[in-house]
Amino acid sequence: MIHCIQQIKSVFTMFPAPAPIVASTARRFALRSLPSLAVARQSLTQSSSFIAPIPSPSNPPITSSYSSIAMRLYSSTPTPQSPIPDGNSILSSYQQQSTSPLIGNNIPLAMETLARANAVCFDVDSTVITEEGIDVLAETLGKGPEVSAWTSKAMDGNIKFEDALAARLDIIRPSRKDIEKCLEMHPLRLSHGVDTLVKALQKRGTEVFLVSGGFRLMIEPVAEVLGVKRDHIYANTILFDDSGNYAGFDATEPTSADQGKPKALGMIKEKYGFDKMVMVGDGATDAQACPPADAFIGFGGVIVREAVKEKACWFVEDFETMIDIVNKYGGD
């Protein structure tokens, strides 16, 4: 494979051609030679409907030395991106296309911040995935209605988050095996388009974080599917004893208490030096995170919460326009 690519390059050395033609020819050759790679590449660009089970020896991640060679060839000619206009100009272009009014308190700010963002933080439950993870866990343990009522109170901002978290965990008291069994029986579903949005952000160099009041053990498989690094997860840690039984939760995690997400985003900003950060989420705790986020985009694709809708700089019910903005502009 590598020998053939070198032969192509030697031909173009003897008979010079414009650089884009060289890259395009090599890229087409690589993809024709690797039908399995074409399938792998297609899977990266299509929306997933389900989170795969936690990887195991019987279900290992797919890797290929050939794919890395061809992907380097593919990325040798990056897609040109437009200069970033101001937020009002971005908004105007979408108002002309939209058949319904766009909603938000400061849509130009949100759109321009997204276009320029060097970090985007996503809530997980009812945003990245279509369910509330703790409710799914409670349902598998026969405690669904009791826990769901507490979740609604927390997401609507009617109770301190730490009180709701403690109450729900006291009801279900999940063991390590309970959580593993839950994920096997009920793989978590990605919200439509979120994988495309995350990949678009990562392609242009924007860092993606998952900031959640949910549980790290349940979020890590989601992060793996999306290609989000584990140290980019800010979530709650359930504690277990030596036998794997429930032993409480780590109260030092920033997301374990009310105002935890502002604290987490502040930590991220300070650690990495980001100057343009967006928070995306469905709940009152997500709205609290702006500031330190420079803009808050409320998401109502799973459930519309009126309190969140009122506080959002921009409120969306799908990710399509966000994906378009990210693809169109290269960020700062």
Catalytic center residues: 123, 125
**What are the angstrom distances between the C-alpha of 135 and each of 167, 195, 240, 246, 268?**
13, 23, 20, 17, 28
Alpha helices in the chain, H assignment, sequence order: 2-14, 19-33, 35-45, 65-74, 87-97, 107-116, 133-140, 144-155, 161-172, 176-185, 194-203, 216-226, 260-272, 284-287, 306-311, 320-328
Give the other-Cβ count within 10 Å of 109's Cβ: 18
Q: What is the distance between the alpha carbons of residues 30 and 173, in angstroms, rounded to a whole number? A: 52
Give, in order, the Cα–Cα distances in Å from 48 to each of 189, 196, 225, 319: 8, 9, 9, 14
Please say whether the beta carbons of 246 and 174 come within 8 A. Answer: yes
Sign of the Cα pseudo-torsion (310, 114, 120, 326, in order):
positive
